[in-house]
Chains A and B, each alone.
Chain A
Amino acid sequence: MKQRLVVIGAGMASGRMLEHIFEAAPDAFDVTLFNAEPRGNYNRLMLSPVLSGEKTYAEIVTHDAEWYAARGVDCRFGEPVVKIDRANRVVYSNAGGVPYDRLVIATGSAPFLLPVPGKNLPGVVAYRDLEDTQAMIDAAAPGAKAVVIGGGLLGLEAAAGMAARGAEVVVIHLMGHLMERQLDPAAGYLLQRDLERRGITVHCKGATKAILGTDRVEAVLLDDGTTYPADLVCMAIGIRPETRLANDAGLEVNRGLVVSDQMQTNDPAIFGLGECVEHQGQLFGLVAPLYDQAKVLAATLLGTEAAFRPVQTATKLKVTGVDLFSAGDFAEAPGREDIVFRDPGRGVYKRLILEGEKLIGAVMYGDTADGAWFFDKIKTGEDVTALRDTLIFGPAFSGGAAADPLAAVAALPPEAEICGCNGVCKGKITEAVAGGATTLEAVRAVTKASASCGTCTGLVEKVMALTLGAAFKPVENPPMCKCTDHTHEDVRRLIKARALKSIPAVMQELGWKTSGGCASCRPALNYYLLCDWPFDYTDDRQSRFVNERNHANIQKDGTYSVVPRMWGGVTTPTELRAIADAAEKYAVPMVKVTGGQRIDLLGVKKEDLPAIWSDLNAAGMVSGHAYSKGLRTVKTCVGEQYCRFGTQDSTGLGIKLEQLLWGSWTPAKLKLGVSGCPRNCAEATCKDIGVICVESGYQISVAGAAGLEVKETELLVTVATEAEAMQAIAAFTQLYRENARYLHRVHKWVAKVGLAWCRAQIEDPETRKALADRFEESQSIYRVDPWAELAAKPADWAPVADLSQPAVILGAAE
């Protein structure tokens, strides 16, 4: 049988408690809910916006009649409870008794009224509920005179709300400055100045002597003799727990209804919740701890163990246009030190209070953006000694080292280079922005900055942000290019989902806005298609960038470089002789050893490419793909065969890996390294994929970089055998091929998807094998030497016609 739960008070705390209970155990209780106010729960924190006219009552209702009905709550709204009979477990209203198994007293607080003559005159209100709010709204007509007694949180919100409706408002405050419980005098001063600018009169150190009037309120008289005329007086000097019912029932009450950590009173069947309770001598008025109480009480009622532990709370004043934040303890005391920042011109004041090595309080006015960060430091009680020098400047300067990235860019002189690829300096970008280029696309078009490798895009955006200020909107995930509204990720997904198997099919089905795409989307589409449909898609040479189309790297003068593959960096006298012969035969201007352990022949004319390839093919060499978004090299050290430290055959593994991976196309270039021991002579830990051999096996790490960015690899998996290492690397390569955006190197992709996700795929034996199998399927098509095929048609590489000889011109003229 269901237990009978009776709740007295439909406020924010009990509302939250009921939510928790109905979520966890919808059928645990039959609930009866009493409320003295003739309505259910609404967000009392939002009364101020209702008063100022920024919100309506309907907007702040949190639980409507439907909500209660759906949960079978017996609502007794407008029906105050008059008595609790603990012996028989029955509560009484004037309509009769309701028995309970469990009773929750959540009667909230009552406004504290000054015991002065005239306090009961019509026109004197508190500021607790909707009736009070409505009374103030009615009274606060333009030109009406209102006096608010009390310059705390509530009083000031009442004053600002009535002022917003056009009333002439005076705030009378007993203490030396406003909100003295939350603010120190300096911040209180700034607040007073702001309120006075809004036409509110502030009278501090003002003690109210009497409220004057005959039939209704007419004026307020202070001890110092000052009189303020008033059509309405709002008393907002404080609240006290509403404990009359509990008191009458003989429950333990000090300042509030005394509860345990479980929110239980001294009667085991009765619980207290909200502003009416006292916990370890403390009262609660802000919503955060009340919500914590609600959670604990719901758990207690459902038989789960929980304990209420009050936490620090922070305060924000809900007056539009006033930025104020305070948290923790900011009273002056021995052993406490202050850090203060002032900018009087802007009305900014920040004060941090330290005790020992901890931050214990923060007061901010005018600029409260870092409030949450400071509040976190107060709550965690962490040691802030190391941050102290820059602590007041907030997270942007935390630690002093990680300075605000914008500030760093702001400090750059105009001639500082931003885009290394295209040699664009900061001044050129700011000029372009000033000239009307307000989007990244536009800046790219005008200056070429970030138009090549794109690494500087973030930097360019920062320069734009500095120049444009708030008008700058960075693009989170921009479309693939101007030809489409789809992102790279969308296009990859749709190619698979809709089985699109050609570039025209993609452009047609995905609504390309241009007829033939552009130089940006076509290479990407070509890659995505050949990766996803190795058997169905035919590589489109005309959608390849020049280097991949010509299987050689174009140089600035239009010549090319030729790099034959040297498996694992190992060569032979025969190969070296063939390379030397080719270099002489084709008058290669430069022969250079590359960083990938092979030899580069630079300055070869395009029409000589097929012949030089043939010669190298004849010596048993194939293309090194030094130009491709694909496998470049596997760099190795000498390993156990010769090295006295080598633990495994790193050279042999490198050769096998290169033979496994060569010819594969990947989103961006792919470089590997295999080191035979942790001394890491092959520099494997800055490669896309690196292997470190150890006595017990192979550590495979990924996502390194040693280009525009430098980054160490991170461990993916450790395996025991060479075969497992090869399978894991094939699988990881395929994972990268299938998921990364075109032109994203491994490290950039891993940063996006997370190493943990990659590791989970590779560690799962089935997924790993499936990936490795798909890689091998693709390789059955692509593990071929492009040179051999292309060298067979040398005519394609020469000019289609030679009109440079006069005889030819005459012969062909007619």
Chain B
Amino acid sequence: MSHFIDIAALDDIPRQGARVVKTPSGCVAVFRTLDDQVFAMDDRCPHKGGPLSEGIVHGTQVTCPLHGWVFDLATGLAQGADSGSVATHAARIEGGRVLLSETCLRGRAA
């Protein structure tokens, strides 16, 4: 069972937006959807390294701000005809706080 780290208040993240968490191996984007679900994934598009945290969040997807790749927030998989994926990390809300799995502190696969 993995440990979770308290990173911020839910209200620090705008609905349909994201905030960034710095880790030793790069940034993690923590997303909040319109219906207050939270998701976390590496803040780096596999295409050209765009900061996914700056993308437009729609439903449970995000569109990369640089070239428009779309990723599913839950799986990290590129949508449509693009193929590629972003490492995701477990995140959850507890008592108005956002908790992020400590797996994000371990080395990256890619």
Cβ < 8 Å to A, chain B residues 1-59: 3, 5-8, 12-17, 19-24, 27, 30, 33-34, 48-51, 54-59
Residue in contact with A801 in the complex, picked from B22, B34, B82, CB distance below 8 Å: B22
Say whether, besides A518-B58, A554-B66, A445 and B80 are in contact (CB < 8 Å): yes
Whether B54 contacts A452 by the Cβ 8 Å rule is: no
CB of A446 within 8 Å of the partner chain: yes
Point out the residue from A448, A515, A517 that lies within 8 Å of B67, measured CB to CB. Answer: A448
The residue from B13, B56, B100 contacting A545, defined by CB atoms under 8 A apart: B56
Report whether B59 and A515 are in contact in the complex, using a CB–CB cutoff of 8 Å.
yes
**In the bound complex, how far is the Cα of B8 from the Cα of A800, in angstroms?**
7
Q: Is the CB of A804 within 8 A of B22?
A: yes
A514 and B105 within 8 A (CB): no
What separation, in Å, do the CA atoms of A442 and B59 have in the docked complex?
A: 22
Check B87 for interface membership: any CB of A closer than 8 A. Answer: no
Task: Verify if B104 is at the interface (C-beta below 8 Å from A).
Answer: yes
Task: Tell me the smallest distance from the CB of A747 to a CB of chain B, in Å.
Answer: 24
Query: B5 to A812, Cβ gap below 8 A?
Result: yes
B56 touches A523 (CB 8 A): yes
Residue in A516, A557, A814 whose CB lies within 8 Å of B34: A516
Chain A, 444-458, contact with B by CB distance < 8 Å: what is the 0/1 string?
011010011000000
User: Are A518 and B65 neighbours in the complex by a CB distance under 8 Å?
Assistant: no
Task: Evaluate contact between B27 and A809: CB separation under 8 angstroms.
Answer: no
Q: Is A546 an interface residue (CB 8 A)?
A: yes
A556-B48, A803-B23 as given contacts; A514 in contact with B68, CB under 8 Å:
no
B residues in contact with A515, CB < 8 Å: 34, 59
Residue-by-residue, is B93-110 near A (CB-CB < 8 Å gives 1, otherwise 0)? 000000010101100000
**A648: Cβ under 8 A from any B Cβ:** no
Are the C-beta atoms of B19 and A799 separated by less than 8 Å?
yes
Cα A422 to Cα B53 in complex, Å, equals 22
Question: Does A467 sit at the interface, judged by CB under 8 A?
Answer: no
Residue in A446, A519, A800, A812 whose beta carbon sits within 8 Å of that of B68 in the complex: A519
The chain A residue sitting closest to B64, CB to CB, is A519
Docked CA distance A76–B3 (Å) = 101
Chain A positions 521 through 554: 1 when the CB is less than 8 Å from some CB of chain B, otherwise 0: 0110000000000000000011111100110001
B residues less than 8 Å from A801 (CB atoms)? 7-8, 21-22, 100
* A541 CA to B13 CA, complexed, in Å: 13
Check if B88 is an interface residue, CB within 8 A of chain A: no
Q: Do the beta carbons of A803 and B6 come within 8 Å of each other?
A: no
Closest chain A residue to B50, Cβ basis: A558
Decide if B67 touches A542 in the complex (CB within 8 Å). Answer: no
Q: How far is the CA of A542 from the CA of B49 in the complex (A)?
A: 21
Asked if A546 contacts B59 (CB within 8 A), the reply is no
Nearest-neighbor residue (CB-CB) of A544 within chain B: B56
Asked if A401 CB lies within 8 Å of chain B CBs, one says no
A333 at the interface (CB under 8 A from B): no
A801 to B22, CA, bound (A): 6
CB proximity of B37 to chain A, nearest CB, Å: 12
Provided the pairs A558-B49, A800-B30 are in contact, do residues A550 and B54 lie with their beta carbons within 8 angstroms? Answer: yes
- Chain A interface bracket (under 10, 10 to 19, 20 to 34, 35 or more): 35 or more
A802 sits at the interface (CB 8 A): yes
CB-based contact B54/A519 at 8 Å: no
CA distance A544 to B102 in the complex (A): 32
Give complex CA distance A812, B24 in Å: 15
Q: Does B70 contact A (CB under 8 A)?
A: yes
Q: Which of B8, B16, B104 contacts A542 (CB 8 A)?
A: B16
Chain B: CB-nearest residue to A802: B22
Contact A799 B16 (CB under 8 A): no
A470 at the interface (CB under 8 A from B): no
B side interface size, CB within 8 A: 44
Whether B105 contacts A809 by the Cβ 8 Å rule is yes
A517–B58 touching, CB < 8 Å? yes
Q: Nearest Cβ in chain A — how far from B84, in angstroms?
A: 13
Q: Is there an interface contact between A799 and B56, defined as CB atoms closer than 8 Å? A: no
Per the 8 Å Cβ criterion, residues 484-539 of A in contact with B are 514-519, 522-523
Q: Tell me the dominant secondary structure on chain A's binding face.
A: loop
Q: Is the CB of B63 within 8 A of A803?
A: no
Chain B residues with CB under 8 A of A442: 81
Which residues from chain B contact A809 at a C-beta distance below 8 Å?
A: 5, 102, 105
Does A593 sit within 8 A of B, measured CB to CB? no
Task: Check A813/B58 contact, CB under 8 A, given A545-B65, A804-B23.
Answer: no
Instruction: Give A517's nearest chain B residue, CB to CB.
Output: B58
* Contact A543 to B54, CB < 8 A, known contacts A515-B34, A516-B16, A809-B5: no
- Residues 795-812 of A, flagged 1 when their CB comes within 8 A of B and 0 if not, give 000011111100001001
Residue numbers in A under 8 Å from B49 (CB-CB): 557-558
- With a cutoff of 8 Å between Cβ atoms, the chain B residues found around residue A522 in the complex are 56, 58
User: How far does the alpha carbon of A554 sit from the alpha carbon of B5 in the complex, in Å?
Assistant: 30
Task: Determine the residue in chain A with the shortest Cβ distance to B30.
Answer: A800
Instruction: Name, among A442, A446, A516, the residue most crowded by chain B CB atoms within 10 Å (CB to CB).
Output: A516
Given contacts A515-B34, A519-B63, A542-B17, contact A799 B22 (CB under 8 A): yes
- Among A446, A519, A550: residue with most chain B CB under 10 A: A519
Chain B contacts of A541 at CB under 8 A?
14, 17
Minimum CB–CB distance from A553 to chain B (whole Å) comes to: 11
Residue of B nearest to A446 (CB): B81
Contacts of B68 in A (CB 8 A): 448, 451-452, 519
Residue among A442, A542, A809 with the highest chain B CB neighbour number at 10 A: A542
Q: B54, A800: Cβ atoms under 8 Å?
A: no
Q: Closest CB-CB distance, B17 to chain A, in whole Å?
A: 5
Complex Cα–Cα for A558 and B33 (A): 23
Q: Could you tell me if A445 and B81 are in contact, using CB atoms closer than 8 angstroms?
A: yes
Contact partners of A802 in chain B: CB under 8 A: 21-22
CA distance A802 to B17 in the complex (A): 19
Question: Which among B5, B57, B70 is the interface contact of A803 at CB below 8 angstroms?
Answer: B5
Q: Known interface pairs A800-B21, A801-B21. Does A516 touch B5 (Cβ–Cβ under 8 Å)?
A: no
Question: Which of chain A's residues has its CB closest to B104's CB?
Answer: A803
Q: CB-CB < 8 A to B55: which residues of A?
A: 519, 546
Q: Are A543 and B23 in contact (CB under 8 A)?
A: no
* A542 contacts B15, C-beta separation under 8 Å: yes
B23 nearest CB across to chain A (Å): 5
Q: Across the interface, which residues of A come within 8 angstroms of B100, CB to CB?
A: 801
Contact: A799 with B20, CB < 8 Å? yes
Question: Which residues of chain A are within 8 angstroms of B104 by Cβ–Cβ distance?
Answer: 803
Least CB distance from B71 to A in Å reads 11
A71 shortest CB reach to chain B, Å: 62
Give Cα A802 to B19, complex, Å.
11
Chain A, residue nearest B54 (CB): A546
**Cα-based distance from A2 to B93 in the complex (angstroms):** 91
Of all chain A residues, which has the CB nearest B28? A803
Interfacial chain B residues near A543, Cβ < 8 Å? 16, 56
Whether A813 lies near B12 (C-beta < 8 A) is: no
CA distance in complex: A519, B66 (Å): 12
Q: Output the nearest chain A residue to B8 by Cβ-Cβ distance.
A: A800
A residues in contact with B58, CB < 8 Å: 514, 516-519, 522
Q: Is A516 a contact partner of B50 (Cβ separation < 8 A)?
A: no
Q: Is the CB of B27 within 8 A of A519?
A: no
Contacts A452-B67, A516-B59, A803-B5 given: A554-B54 contact, CB under 8 Å?
A: yes
- Contact check, A813 vs B56: say whether CB atoms are below 8 A apart: no
CA distance A517 to B16 in the complex (A): 11
Q: How far is the CA of A737 from the CA of B58 in the complex (A)?
A: 26
- Looking at A448, A514, A523, A558, which has the most chain B CB atoms within 10 Å of its CB? A558
Chain B, Cβ-Cβ closest to A543? B56
**Interface mask (B75-87 → A, CB under 8 Å = 1, otherwise 0):** 0000011100000
The contact sample of 12 A-B pairs, CB cut-off 8 A, is: A422-B67, A451-B68, A515-B59, A518-B56, A519-B56, A545-B56, A558-B51, A558-B54, A800-B7, A804-B22, A809-B105, A812-B6
List residues of chain A with CB under 8 Å of any chain B CB.
422, 437, 442, 445-446, 448, 451-452, 514-519, 522-523, 541-546, 549-550, 554, 556-558, 799-804, 809, 812-814
Other than the given A519-B55, A542-B15, A800-B7, 7 more pairs (CB < 8 A) read A442-B81, A445-B80, A518-B56, A522-B56, A543-B16, A544-B56, A558-B54
**8 smallest beta-carbon distances between A and B, as pairs:** A519-B63, A800-B19, A542-B16, A546-B65, A801-B7, A519-B56, A445-B81, A546-B54
